[in-house]
Amino acid sequence: MAKVFIIKESSYDQNRVELAVNKIFSHFGGIEHYVKKGDLVLLKANMLSANEISERVTTDPQVVRAVAAEVLNAGGKPVICDSPGLDKFSNVAKKTGLAAIAEELGIACEELTTPVALPSSESAVFRKIEVSKIALDADVIINLAKMKTHGQMVLTLGVKNLFGTVVAQRKAEWHYKVGLRRDLFASLLIDIYKGVKPSFTILDGIWGMEGKGPSNGNPRNFGLLAGAENALTLDFHISRLLGLPLPEFPLWQAAKQRNLPEAEIIDSDLEGDFSHPFVFDNVDIPKLSTMRVIPKIPFIEPMLTSKPVQDINKCVQCFRCVEICPANAMSKNGKKIVIDYKKCIRCYCCHEFCPKDAIDFKDGLILKVMKFLGK
């Protein structure tokens, strides 16, 4: 049995998605292998923000519906959950179609609240992480991620989706603590994944996102649903399918540095309708900076990274960027956004939560020179 199984499916037709999801679970022994009668099953969807389904920012409701139906058939009690970073949960649930799915099936759609300490292992990099008590109290977690690019972490797939178990604005606190060290942020994501321990991950890539993800990129029909017990292994195989070399994927860098077995990629671990050496053509992968793992050096880091700038022509003055900024580096002055680059930690939260793609990026001086010399 392969560790990652991928189905080719280009449509969100209810019957077709149900068949694909059933086929994925069947490959791993069926939903009954994970869910027993009476189990409380947390379906951790991607509910980043209150976007229309067609924008492909969140897990499609038909994928969530199909998995919830599988859980119900096994006698489990599914609950659709997430903790949006900024938008009101009820608005997100309604706009993304997940509230309607919950009502149709007679199940709960619940915000992840009540932060509690996440149990950590000896190998954990971060010892004091808090996630939602609701997630830790569940008997089973099924991770329902969306396949997207990401301005800070290059890709957001299975492992990154579990950052949503961190409650609301505490996500911004972690962005501030970790700063622009992508390697540290990747290790944080691994620690959360290892602590939360989802039983299974399904990745919604029927329609995904490329370019300026996770919310301002371009929807793309990749035509796939993928499933795995190990989200790290899933993410690394998907990275290769998207044409991103593993050494350029911060999550893989962190796994390799920690000597995790998942960093060793075995071609035979991937089966289904897409297999190695297949690669999607011309996927628009963000390249915001060439910085890798470097020590924190004052005055040097800003010149090695891209910095956020306001596109006044696109800006609608919602000032969500000001509200979400974990470093309090942004303020409003009339229609303009003032950015204190001495405070800016290059976490790109402002870009992530801007509804109109009005936050662009400008290269630092050294980065400009490096790109010029590389031409």
CA distance 50 to 59: 12
Burial class (CB in 10 A: 0-12, 13-18, 19+), 372: exposed
Mean pLDDT of 174-202: 92
CATH 3.30.70.20 fits 301-373, yes or no: yes
pLDDT digits (tens, 9 = 90+) for 252-295: 999 999 999 999 999 999 999 998 899 999 999 997 554 444 44
pLDDT digits (tens, 9 = 90+) for 213-264: 999 999 999 999 999 999 999 999 999 999 999 999 999 999 999 999 999 9
Torsion of CA 248, 131, 82, 85, to 10 degrees: -70
Name which of 270, 260, 207, 204 is nearest 237 in CA terms: 270
CATH code linked to domain 4-272 = 3.40.50
Name which of 64, 65, 73 is nearest 39 in CA terms: 73
324 confidence band (pLDDT: 50, 70, 90):
confident
The overall pTM is greater than 0.85 = yes
- Domain spans in the chain, listed from the N-terminal domain onward: 4-272, 301-373
The reported pLDDT for the residue numbered 357 is 85
Burial class (CB in 10 A: 0-12, 13-18, 19+), 28: middle
- According to DSSP, residue 281 is labeled T
